[in-house]
Structure 1
Amino acid sequence: MKGKALFAVGVAVGYVWGSKSWPEVYRRVRGGTEKLWKNPEVQENVHQATEAVQESVPDILDNLYEAGKKLLEKAEAMFPGITSPKAGQHADSSSSSKPTVTTVPTIKSDVVSDPALDDATGSDWTGEGGAAPEGPATNTPPKA
């Protein structure tokens, strides 16, 4: 029932948008918004809001910086040495020209048979729900 209601609403909206009176309605709405936007009182409020935001941004940035410093201090208290440079790194690691290389340990697969590891033509994947050498593992007969 919900689908039918949504369909009916869609038809109604499409009819209104597609009707000949839609351009006139659009012009009236657009004219009203332009008239409102050009109103001197509205422009004064926009100007005041812009100034307030521009004045408060430096304070907000300072507050964020201070909050970040406090968070870093708490992290250092909870995990001593977290902010100190690692072995082999300098305190000013941003000026180092050598990138840090991290090696990932090799993980041995715990899967005995994985079709993704063998995609050669003629591989038997029927035990994995894949394809057999004679065709796909489905209930439909192969197309001739």
Structure 2
Amino acid sequence: MIKALIFAAGAAAGYVAATRSGTSAYKKVKEQSLDLWQRPAVQDKVSEAAETVKAKAPQVQHQVADLAKKATHRG
């Protein structure tokens, strides 16, 4: 999961750098990122992350609801 966040940060930095470099550099980065996104290994990790989120969502929902109740009772 941390690697995915690092990848996203790198992609964002690449986007910013490419937009400052002009259209041709932007198009090159865009093509490379699309190629990378379509790789089976990347899609496997995306699927894993989605499944993890789906599995953890109810637990997180209950924790948030409990914290909201506590915050409401304090105020």
Report the CA distance between 1:36 and its aligned residue: 0.4
Q: Quick one: percent identity of the two aligned structures?
A: 25
For structure 1, the residue ranges without an aligned partner over 5 or more in a row are: 1-12, 77-144
Report the CA distance between 1:54 and its aligned residue: 1.4
CA deviation string 1:55-113 (max 9, x = no partner): 111111111222233341xx38xxxxxxxxxxxxxxxxxxxxxxxxxxxxxxxxxxxxx
Change (3 A) 1:29 1:69: closer
Change (3 A) 1:66 1:41: same
What secondary structure, in the 3-state scheme, does the structure 2 residue paired with 1:45 have? helix
Which is greater in Rg?
Answer: 1
Q: Which residue of 2 aligns with 1:29?
A: 29
CA deviation string 1:11-36 (max 9, x = no partner): xx5xx53xxxx43x333222211110
- Greater helix share, structure number: 2
Hey, which bits of structure 1, 4+ residues long, moved more than 3 A?
none
Greater relative CO (CA pairs within 8 A, separation 6+): 2
Report the CA distance between 1:53 and its aligned residue: 0.9
Q: Which residue of 2 aligns with 1:39?
A: 39
Amino acid aligned to 2:46: V
For structure 2, the residue ranges without an aligned partner over 5 or more in a row are: 1-19
Give the distance between the partners of 2:49 and 2:67, measured in 1 at CA: 26
In angstroms, what is the RMSD of aligned CA positions?
Answer: 2.2
